[in-house]
């Protein structure tokens, strides 16, 4: 199974994050673009799945698994561009 990694500010879920700190994935870098604190790597799976609305996706929901979250987003957008009634979404699920 392909594992993807996203990088988030360690202060992303605190009460005083900057706008940059709350970015879902800042990319591989040593420090946050906003507050300059350490980054944390989070391993998981980047998938595309049919939208459910509850945001509780699992690998069983995956139509396809990608190596990066950006690749999953790009694939979901491409499918939407081909058919704007598509309900496929890109999601990152923690391993």
Q: How far is CA 22 from CA 13, 16, 17, 56, 90, in A?
A: 7, 10, 7, 20, 18
Instruction: Write down the pTM of the prediction.
Output: 0.81
Of 65, 80, 60, 49, which Cα lies nearest the Cα of 3? 65
Listed as ranges, residues in the chain with pLDDT below 50 are none
Distance CA 19, CA 81 (A): 29
pLDDT tens for 59-83 read 999 999 999 999 999 999 999 999 9
Answer for the pair 92, 52: CB distance below 8 angstroms, yes or no: no
Quick one: pLDDT at residue 17?
Answer: 67
Quick one: pLDDT at residue 15?
Answer: 65
């Amino acid at each position: 199974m392909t594992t993807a990694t996203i990088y988030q500010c360690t202060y992303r879920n605190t009460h005083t994050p900057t706008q940059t700190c709350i970015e879902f994935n800042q990319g591989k870098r040593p420090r946050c673009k906003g507050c300059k604190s350490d980054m944390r790597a989070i391993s998981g799976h980047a998938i595309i799945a049919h939208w459910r609305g509850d945001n509780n996706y699992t690998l069983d929901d995956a139509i396809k698994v990608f190596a990066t979250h950006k690749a999953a987003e790009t694939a979901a957008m491409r499918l939407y561009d081909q058919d704007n009634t598509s309900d496929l979404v890109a999601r990152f699920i923690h391993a």
